[in-house]
Amino acid sequence: MDYRRFRMPAFNAVPRRDYLMALLSGILLALSFPSPGFSALAWIAFVPLLLACGRKDPRKAFRLGLVTGLSAYAGILYWINIVVTTYGKLPWSVSICLFSLLVAYLALYPAIVTLLVRRGEERGISLLISFPVLWVGLEYVRAFILTGFPWASLGYSQYKILPLIQVADVTGVYGLSFLIAFANAVFYRLIRGFVGKERAPYPLKSVALLFGLMAATVGYGFNRLHLPETGTPFTVALIQGNIDQNIKWDPAFQEATVSIYERLSRKACATGPVDLVVWPESAAPFYFQDEERYAARIKTLAKELSSCAVVGSPAYVKDGGEVKYLNSAFLLSPWGEVVGRSDKIHLVPFGEYVPMAKLLPFVNKLVAGIGDFSPGARIASLKTGKGEIGILVCFEGIFPELSRAYVRAGSRLLVNITNDAWFGRSSAPYQHLSMTVFRAVENRVPLVRAANTGITSIIDGKGHVRGMTPLFTEAVLNGEVRLGGEESVYTRYGDIFAWGCLVAGAVLMVLSFRRKKA
């Protein structure tokens, strides 16, 4: 019997050179995000992949796209192993398995894009149209499916290029993703005009269109950057306590924790009261709403400083016979009274609750010290007396729709409180920061973030990072922002651009199947 006929062709059907080119695309893509954050690489990152796909069968293009996705997301999200092993207390073998599952899931998106692009090309649909449209459409889907994980969307790689990112107040981050994907497609077609057995015609119209889009985007950006900020001045003091995650929830360290925040808050307000003092997520590691000793001290501190204060703390509500735990932030008035509370709405899977807990009894929640959290019931814009604020807890800052909802509810300042201690000294805190820059630009409101171990920062409504602290140090950051006033196109209409790409991508695929049938 000839057993050779039973061999699976799979990866052997594609030359090794093409896999290396797909791998190169993944590496370039990973390097374009912080850190190191070589943002220019994003504009050419997909060119090797597209060259490797060439005229190949869509199934082979899928495999090449999968290689690119695996290498890219493994490089971007390597820090998840730090989280799982250090704070989840799981062995490396389990961590690698969970990490591999996540990376494989995310790699499906570029793989599906390459498959659909090649299928469309076989039916006469230009890659110059299908690649950017499908990329953005699936990037938008990724932001919602399975609770959503819009980490490292393509546009975030450009967060430091302020003239480029101003267009986010119209298109959201997806407008930048579209422009980068379109540029990659044009550069690919240009290179094909010089190399290969079948030289493609030079895409002169596409080059002209890319040039026009870039000129319009940058021109719009410079115009926005030169417009003066007219909002009411608002002073903030952000407190970075640098509390070790391993002792954060230990009752024996509550006194030391509160003392650190008291000392740093007094230091921040030494020259006079500020409009708002901000402590990080869970800075008060106890139930602030009914803890007598330490909660009373914090209220007295707010009165002493004559400043409003945001204090991160767990909370609970009783719903019949059930107690629901919340990851919350309390707003204190300059008179030491609790005048509002904002509850985290979008929880971290496996961080704050365990999905399908009955099926995964061996998986522990990463956040110690409290039971599973429940999501908050509503968007709550809190009134400081000088302006309303919206509080984004932890990774809520990576979800554009949440920031938009707070601004539409009346917030003129976004406050992101977070605890990035479990990321260690990795790229994750920098990646986290890069995404919050877009939340400010999209809605034309300033955003301030207080992080337990850093990065604490002040971001104005144009995306300037006006100040930032180093990682793993005690620090205070004082500054002044201008409260947002105007309503941006994005705030009013949301992700209509991404929706348009999603619908257009679906139409392209329907057309490709109809053409095949004909």
Dihedral sign computed on CA atoms, order 172, 177, 180, 186: negative
- 471: closest CA among 436, 439, 435, 423? 423
Backbone φ and ψ of 387, nearest 5°: 175, 155
Helix, strand or coil, per DSSP, at residue 207: helix
Angle 400-408/428-443 helices, nearest 10 degrees?
Answer: 40
Buried-state track 23-49, b at ≥16 Cβ within 10 A, e below 16: bbbbbbbbbbbbeebebebbbbbbbbb
For 247, 327, 424, the CA distances from 87, given in Å and listed in that order, are 11, 18, 10
Angle 496-517/173-192 helices, nearest 10 degrees?
Answer: 40
What number of CA atoms fall less than 13 Å from residue 213's CA on the CB side? Answer: 16
Angle 58-76/92-122 helices, nearest 10 degrees?
Answer: 140
- Residues serving a catalytic function are 281, 344, 394
For 349, 355, 369, 372, 378, the CA distances from 147, given in Å and listed in that order, are 8, 10, 24, 16, 17
